[in-house]
Structure 1
Amino acid sequence: MAAESQKSGSSSENVAHVNYDHSKPEYIVQDGVAYVGEKGENGGVTYQNAADGVPVESTNLLRYTTGFWGSVFLSLSRVVGTGIFSTPANILKGTGSVGLALFFWVIGYVISMSGLSVYLELASYFPGRSGADVVYLEQAYPRPRFFWPLAFGFYTCVFAFGAGNSFVLASWVFRFASREPTDWEIKGIAIAANTLVALLIIANTRLSLTLVNVFGVLKVATLLFIGITGWAVLGGAFPEKVPDPHANFRNAFEGTGNDAYSLSSSLVNIVYSYWGYANAFNLNNEIKNPVRTLKLSSAITMFLIATLYMLVNVAFFAVLSKAEILASTQITATLFWERLWGAKVAKGLTIFPVLSAFSNMLASMIGFSRQVREIGRQGLLPYPKIWVSTKPFGTPIAPVLILWFTAVLFTVAPPAGDAFQFITALQNYPQSLFLLLMTIGLLIIRHRRKKMGIPASDFKVWTPVVIFFICVELFLLIMPWVPPAGGINDSAFNFFYAASSLGGLGIILVCYLYYVLWMYILPKAGKYQIRRRVLFNDDGSVGNQLIKVPNDEVEAWDIKHDPSGRSLNENERDA
């Protein structure tokens, strides 16, 4: 099947016909750079740098089981975990006033919508590729070749674990059981939760996505219940338990004026409270008409999340005093329930944070498993067939297992307390760096496509919005280096405040040292060069493999393969 590509802003001689046969694609070539256009079964043409991209899987072996509501709840369940039951206390503590705390939640929504717009444009460029950030970094930064996909791949495989959420889930389980657990009891429940999540995803894609939807509905219902209850209290319900529900809203900005560090830290916490809004983009190639679907579903998702966040905050402020919220730390929701319905009912309602944490773990691992599979398709993991294969259940077994392994490792290895808090904080800094590079990469990709005469995509974000989001990411990278007011050891992990940021940069440095060794030193010593070839696997999956070609065979190898690494011999397919 073939179709003629359209031109946009460039001379037509630069635009080639696009052939959707994986074995014989055609290219857009300009200034020695070849772009290939391929169409996936989900609709839309993906144009990508042929020498660095992975072939589009025209038939997705993971199937097209993610629809409109699936994409809504994949992102909603990733964003809304258990933080909303406790984060309002931290935001109030940092801002100093109820009014500013509520305003910060609105700012978080605006920031998240700008980031979401960036993801939408990037997704519109590559509708046939899943993995989101994996793909966008690959295409934005072809030089140094393989480095940024390699660094992101290492980060995802090692640090995209569910240990943090599983610890929170375990804590709520024991709170539900009204007993004080030991460290190993907490770890045992956490490991069991991660194992159950992994087994569900391995067993059946439709089952795991259905559970995300079901738990997502329960999550929305829970937060709506809290929010509606809060408004009922404001209207005069429960007068004997909340005699003055408007107290926190009189002089709402009284107390504002904390130091700049506290205010900035609160803004950082708000941004991370909305983190994960692009989770559905990891399944881009599993969604029919992904750009059209995600434009609507993601906008509705973010509006719903922001509305629920605001309703819950107003409910907490209506029922509890400012002093009670500031002292509640991790149990704001429990205090809310106890005040209105008593300790027994509050204990029973803790099942909702447990389910919320579980759905967060499930949605997160589904998204991360697609990223790991795409890293495997890039050829950046050993034994690429294992990572790409969907046998025997039509699910990404190897990616799920590596995520499960790292989750269990980081659950068992570090002692509870400060060390675990440090490892959790270590995840954020590289993620902010990758997101900054990805956002800058949007402008780079946009410029290249215009220069190449590649047809316009279905969505384009305003450039000022992109610049605004770049500034936000710079803030997230600079802010952790500002010393806290309480001293250099006043951090969540109770030692040097910038240790997690230094550790994040250390991760990138280790990746670079490995990259230099793998890409330059060893090839020079071994007298070979690294080349990429396309693998067509028996199960129908398609990916790349990086191979070592001896220096004296490089010229002949290049003649026999096209820019994507496909064999030019019609009777030969690399396997």
Structure 2
Amino acid sequence: MAAEDDIPESGGETPVDEAEEVAELAVVPGAPVERHNPLGHNVTLLSAINLNFGQILGHGIFSMGGAVLGSVGSVGLYFTAWILAPLLAYVGMAVYTELSSYFPLRSGGPVVYLEQEYPRPKFFVPIVFAITSTLLAYNGVTAIVFAQYWLLLFDLPITATSQTVVAIVVTTITSAIALLSTKWSLRIVNVFSVLKVLSLAFVVITGIVVLLGLTHIQDPYKHFQHPWAGSNWDLNGLANTFVKTNTAVVGWHNAFYVLGEVRSPDPVRVVSRAGYISLSIVAVLYLLTNIAYIAVVPPEEIKASGQLVAALFFQHVFGDGAAAKIMPIMVTASCFGNMIAVVVGSARVQREIARQGLLPWPAFWATSRPFGTPSAPIIFKWFLSILIMLLLPAKDAFSFMIDLSSYPFLVFGAAFTFGIWRLRARREKLGLERSKYQMLDVLIVIYLVWHAFLLIMPMLPPQGGQGDVSFWYGTYCVVGMGILLVSALFYYVYIVYLPKRGGYEIIEEIEDLPDGARNARLVKRHKVASDEPTEDQPLLS
């Protein structure tokens, strides 16, 4: 962290290799490249690793054990799910690394990739992604887990009202931190990331002590003796399980969202290394943590634990005394750092969307005033998170928000993975060299099959007809696809139907803002029969 004190909080330029610069500019038009990034270059390898840790090490490993084991039924399938998720995340890392190598000056991740891969129909894919991302830009899942463990820490009853109030308060505090300073946000994320790793290491060491027979836990190996007994091979349940374990490791790509803010001649190398380092450490910690859970807590108790499996672990080992309070402290600290990291990364995605001109008032969304941070995306994310927490039933909020926030983005994930082949073909036509980060085609196929499985299987009826929420099991699939359809309808009305009726076309203009930000905006250009010049009129601003 000390090395980051010398990094300027804003301004500065990131040098890039000449070949990378050609690759950046020899692509289809989109949001303009910002040579002078108004958000600064505060991201180093250390802060990139910690940004990933900050998002990965949130609530997942501390809260999803009950839902996962309840869905798959057996210890064998439980470990299969937790091992498979990081393995496929390594494939995803290769996808992000190759795609980011084509646009080394652009933050935002998927919003950039989709913009460049699918230029036709004009504006279609970027607009659908923009609206979907905006409508699902909530941060309530981690806040709910924070609230439950916070209430547990102080022996307060976990009611719908108390859970919602605490979740709203912590969402407000973490959003305010991200709003006021990127530099201090990264410092806080760094501190909490270290605490998170130490927390998991403590769980792992405790589990090892249990397995060595040095505690009062009797026969810690008995829960591993028949690992496949009770396995539930229901495809719907397996898909929902993999969605949750996949969500638990999501965050390995968080640093890719701030690629334009990396202080390095080769920002792609920095964020790629950060991804592999953070994911590898997390994969080992997750495996050992789950071994500790199974060694200590009977599987039936884990299935009934809801989001409190970590608390059960410590109660079994240390009893109900003061030592059992250690885990709630660790989980709340983990969630707190996670929420700041997620806001920092996702706000950059929203800002990049705005810079494409795809949201109303793009200058408002893209500006870094008054604190040198993407203030409008942060405030909007805070508002949407609060709204969702108030509208959803408290008992269903956790599972539903996880599943809904993941489902539409599986579509986009499949789209930009397939789009790698489109970009390669376009670059070959332009006479550009292959990316030094180009991945194997077989890995692209594996990643596409994985996405197809997670998209299709949840639509099949589960055994018994009941999912992990109190309402219809497929609600999140329908709502997720509905959001995509609404986004497509918006595109058709504003980009196709109204221009055709009004006799105008939609074009992009570049706008330079006083703080150094640059964004595109969509404007109307009226078609006339004569050759007289026409005036462009803003469409969404």
Query: Which whole-Å deviations, capped at 9, do the CAs of 1:489-536 have from their partners, x for residues lacking one?
Result: x12332222221111111111111111110122212222211111112
Distance in 2 (CA, whole Å) between partners of 1:372 and 1:326 is: 37
* Contact 2:178-2:344 at 8 Å conserved across structures: yes
User: In the alignment, residue 302 of structure 2 is paired with which amino acid?
Assistant: I
Distance in 2 (CA, whole Å) between partners of 1:301 and 1:542 is: 32
Distance in 2 (CA, whole Å) between partners of 1:471 and 1:255 is: 27
User: In the alignment, residue 325 of structure 1 is paired with which amino acid?
Assistant: I
Q: Cα gap change, 1:253/1:505 in structure 2, threshold over 3 Å: closer, same or farther?
A: closer
What residue in structure 2 maps to residue 91 of structure 1?
Answer: 68
Query: Which whole-Å deviations, capped at 9, do the CAs of 1:371-418 have from their partners, x for residues lacking one?
Result: 111011101112222122112321111111111111122122334334
What residue in structure 2 maps to residue 430 of structure 1?
Answer: 408
Distance in 1 (CA, whole Å) between partners of 2:349 and 2:275 is: 19
Structure 2: where are the runs of 5+ without partners? Answer: 1-12
Matched, 1:500 2:479: no
1:530-541 alignment runs, 5 A limit: 530-541=506-517
What residue in structure 2 maps to residue 480 of structure 1?
Answer: 458
Aligned residue among 332, 357, 362 for 1:379:
357
Aligned residue among 180, 192, 202 for 1:215:
192
SS in 2 for 1:495: coil
Aligned residue among 225, 248, 256 for 1:281:
256
Q: Cα gap change, 1:425/1:550 in structure 2, threshold over 3 Å: closer, same or farther?
A: same
* Contact 1:414-1:420 at 8 Å conserved across structures: no
1:58-457 alignment runs, 5 A limit: 58-238=35-215, 241-256=216-231, 258-287=233-262, 288=264, 289-344=266-321, 345-418=323-396, 422=400, 424-457=402-435
Distance in 2 (CA, whole Å) between partners of 1:111 and 1:72 is: 19
SS in 1 for 2:82: helix
Query: Which whole-Å deviations, capped at 9, do the CAs of 1:334-355 have from their partners, x for residues lacking one?
Result: 1211122221221343111111
* Contact 2:244-2:403 at 8 Å conserved across structures: no
Give the superposition deviation at 1:260.
Answer: 4.1
User: In the alignment, residue 417 of structure 2 is paired with which amino acid?
Assistant: T
Give the superposition deviation at 1:437.
Answer: 0.7
Q: Cα gap change, 1:317/1:183 in structure 2, threshold over 3 Å: closer, same or farther?
A: closer
SS in 2 for 1:486: helix
Root mean square deviation of aligned Cα: 2.4
Instruction: Select between 253-262 and 438-447 the one with higher mean Cα deviation.
Output: 253-262
SS in 1 for 2:24: strand
Give the superposition deviation at 1:356.
Answer: 1.2
Matched, 1:458 2:436: yes
* Contact 2:66-2:303 at 8 Å conserved across structures: yes
Distance in 2 (CA, whole Å) between partners of 1:247 and 1:384 is: 59
SS in 2 for 1:109: helix
What residue in structure 2 maps to residue 7 of structure 1?
Answer: none
Q: Cα gap change, 1:131/1:170 in structure 2, threshold over 3 Å: closer, same or farther?
A: same
SS in 1 for 2:38: coil
What residue in structure 1 maps to residue 525 of structure 2?
Answer: 549
Matched positions, count: 519
Distance in 1 (CA, whole Å) between partners of 2:385 and 2:505 is: 36
The TM-score, its normalising length taken from structure 2, stands at 0.90
Matched, 1:522 2:498: yes
Distance in 2 (CA, whole Å) between partners of 1:322 and 1:397 is: 45
User: In the alignment, residue 307 of structure 1 is paired with which amino acid?
Assistant: V
The TM-score, its normalising length taken from structure 1, stands at 0.85
SS in 1 for 2:463: coil
Distance in 1 (CA, whole Å) between partners of 2:530 and 2:142 is: 48
What residue in structure 2 maps to residue 11 of structure 1?
Answer: none
Q: Cα gap change, 1:243/1:492 in structure 2, threshold over 3 Å: closer, same or farther?
A: closer
What residue in structure 1 maps to residue 10 of structure 2?
Answer: none
Q: Cα gap change, 1:243/1:389 in structure 2, threshold over 3 Å: closer, same or farther?
A: same
User: In the alignment, residue 337 of structure 2 is paired with which amino acid?
Assistant: S
Distance in 1 (CA, whole Å) between partners of 2:120 and 2:467 is: 37
Give the superposition deviation at 1:441.
Answer: 1.1
* Contact 1:530-1:547 at 8 Å conserved across structures: yes
Distance in 1 (CA, whole Å) between partners of 2:164 and 2:71 is: 31
What residue in structure 2 maps to residue 564 of structure 1?
Answer: none
* Contact 1:42-1:286 at 8 Å conserved across structures: no
What residue in structure 1 maps to residue 7 of structure 2?
Answer: none
Distance in 2 (CA, whole Å) between partners of 1:51 and 1:329 is: 48
Distance in 1 (CA, whole Å) between partners of 2:353 and 2:232 is: 46
* Contact 1:61-1:390 at 8 Å conserved across structures: yes
SS in 1 for 2:505: strand
- Identity value in percent: 35
SS in 2 for 1:130: coil
What residue in structure 1 maps to residue 4 of structure 2?
Answer: none
